[in-house]
Chains A and B, each alone.
Chain A
Amino acid sequence: MSIEIRDVSVRYSVNGKPHKTVINRVSLNIRQGDFVSLVGPSGCGKTTLLRMIFGSQFPTEGEVRFNGRPVEEINRDRGIVFQKYSVMPNCTVEHSIALGLELDGGNLTQRILHTPHFRRVRRSARSEARELIAKIGLKPEDGDKYPHELSGGMCQRVAIAQALITRPKVLLMDEPFGALDAGVRKGMQQMLLKCWQDFGTTIIFVTHDMEEAVYLGNRVVGLSQLWETPSGEKGTGAVIVSDRAIPGGKVKPYSFKYEPEFSAILAQIQHDVLEPEDPLTPDRFIHDHPDSIKSLA
């Protein structure tokens, strides 16, 4: 699996007037198995970047390649978890999770005729869904519940499980824990790290919560429109101002949050990405991740 983002810009024309640049010539490589946190101030286009990898939005300039091919549509290679509305309101938990395998379960005639093939696919899908229910920390009896009977955190667990069941090569997550309170978040983060380990999926995780980003990811990419050109002019559009490898091992223990190393990196990234008083110039961008590409040097 590889994701290559090459000189991608996103511009909007407002009422035919000169374009507003949201993302300015961003390049990025993401390799198999990484947990990439994508952070940045609101409006910096981190969700846009994620959607371009997903295939639901396209760059104005440049190219997003997945396994060497330009991304042209949404498909089973890339799973997604949104902040909300990822879960079907009319399906039980088990059904929701199994859906990804059932959608693959033969064509319409097989479904209507209930052919043995269709029944076999459905049976194995449901049993796999039940295994996943345990993995995401729900009780077996929760499998028969509908989303409206679940808490926000449980719904997001289901959303993660339903995306993982098809074994996507990369899991894209757009503020998945954004609507959850701190206590619930902590449990969700642990669960997500465990899933990352078990499934070996690449994860791209968009969040505005810096602490969450640094704790979860082994790479933090900071996208920001708060930067300056060497001559001191305000930068146009967001660029990658920070691309850091996070130490602490693949799956960090929760105590990592209390290490001085963690605090130092967190403070640095927070400054680099979010500080409007002291905007970085390209020479101060920190790109210490081995895969990082300096596009504006």
Chain B
Amino acid sequence: MSNLLRGDRRPKGLWAHLLPMIPFALAIIVYLWVAHVRHTASALENEGVSREKVTPTATQLVEGIKTVAVKKDVKTDKVLLWFDTWASVKRFVIAYAFIFLPILVGLHMGVFPYLESALKGFVTFLGMVPPLALTAIIIVVLGVEETPKIVLVMVGVFPTVALSTYLFAKDVPNELIESALSRGASQFEIVYRIVLPVIWPKVLDSIRLSFMAGIQCLLAGEFMIASQGLGYRIYLMKRTIQMDMIIPYVLWMTLLIFIADRLVSLWISKKYGWAQR
């Protein structure tokens, strides 16, 4: 048998593109096969008409996508998918618009020992609180409007971003800071012209990694209480087992996360090539 460990034995050309697709293809085939089996069984039991709802067929899925993404909903007179996407994205973006707060906190903690000493324990504590455990408190305190959902995202994301920014800032070699001081940098310049630019690509990366936590919190908030939004809709459709619509919603969210993740990755690699070592 040939040695598969060797570094130069990598899939080339067509294989390099084909191999990653195989698991996806397999998953789809398995799903369609299971769906087919279940529908056949259901049809046998129910005089030739399948009542299977858990695993919609490809045709049913296409119909489902049309219902949520093209046709207007009778009750609300809105195209649900876009309506919900807009609602969720808005909450998410508003929450992330304040991401500068934890970045500034972490940055200063990493540079100034007094702030580090004062805040490290508290921020670590905040980071340990499971954000979803706070849903009840947040809704009780902040009501049922948009604010609690936005705050929940912040609660889930900000402590982690603050802590990782702090660690990055602390990791900046002392040599860089001392060398800049010896060239006349002020404390202000040390923070904003030396430390921040050096850690910025890493901070962006930690923001990127925080997207998943942020989305979990947003969904949890929307599950709890909302009148629109991707999480709310899934929660609603669960009651009537509308799998033909739930599955497109889930795939759509995955795609949104993927795009957001890629955009930030692209931003880092295009603008901060020096950070890729």
Given contacts A74-B182, A163-B179, A146 and B274 within 8 Å (CB-CB):
yes
Determine the distance from Cα of A104 to Cα of B182 in the docked complex, in whole angstroms: 12
Are the C-beta atoms of A148 and B274 separated by less than 8 Å?
yes
Given contacts A103-B193, A108-B188, A163 and B274 within 8 Å (CB-CB):
no
Determine the distance from Cα of A78 to Cα of B180 in the docked complex, in whole angstroms: 11
Chain A, interface size category, equals 20 to 34
A54 within 8 A of B: yes
B184 within 8 A of A: yes
A143 within 8 A of B: no
A257 within 8 A of B: no
Q: Which residues of B contact A75 (CB under 8 A)?
A: 181-182, 184
Q: List the one stretch of B5-13, B67-75, B134-142, B170-178 in contact with chain A.
A: B170-178
Residue pairs across A and B with CB atoms within 8 Å: the count is 72
A30 within 8 A of B: no
Q: Which residues of B contact A103 (CB under 8 A)?
A: 180, 183-186, 189, 193
Q: Which residues of chain B in 233-277 are interfacial with respect to chain A, using CB atoms and an 8 Å cutoff?
A: 272-275, 277
Q: Which residues of B contact A162 (CB under 8 A)?
A: 179, 183
Chain B, interface size category, equals 20 to 34
Determine the distance from Cα of A78 to Cα of B183 in the docked complex, in whole angstroms: 8
Are the C-beta atoms of A84 and B274 separated by less than 8 Å?
no
Smallest Cβ-Cβ distance to B274: which chain A residue: A146
* B157 CB → nearest A CB, Å: 25
Determine the distance from Cα of A165 to Cα of B180 in the docked complex, in whole angstroms: 12
B144 within 8 A of A: no
Are the C-beta atoms of B178 and A80 separated by less than 8 Å?
yes
Q: Which residues of A contact B182 (CB under 8 A)?
A: 54, 74-76, 78-80, 163, 168
Are the C-beta atoms of A88 and B178 separated by less than 8 Å?
no
Q: Which residues of A contact B274 (CB under 8 A)?
A: 89-90, 146-148
Given contacts A90-B274, A147-B274, A79 and B183 within 8 Å (CB-CB):
yes
Smallest Cβ-Cβ distance to A73: which chain B residue: B181
Are the C-beta atoms of A148 and B179 separated by less than 8 Å?
no
Q: Which residues of A contact B275 (CB under 8 A)?
A: 89-90
Task: Return 5 A-B CB contacts under 8 Å, by A number.
Answer: A54-B178, A74-B178, A86-B175, A88-B194, A103-B183
Could you tell me which A residues sit within 8 Å of B by CB distance?
54, 56, 73-76, 78-82, 84-86, 88-90, 99-100, 103-104, 108, 146-148, 159, 162-163, 165-166, 168
- A100-B184, A147-B274 given. 8 additional CB < 8 A pairs? A75-B182, A79-B183, A84-B175, A90-B197, A90-B200, A108-B188, A148-B274, A148-B277
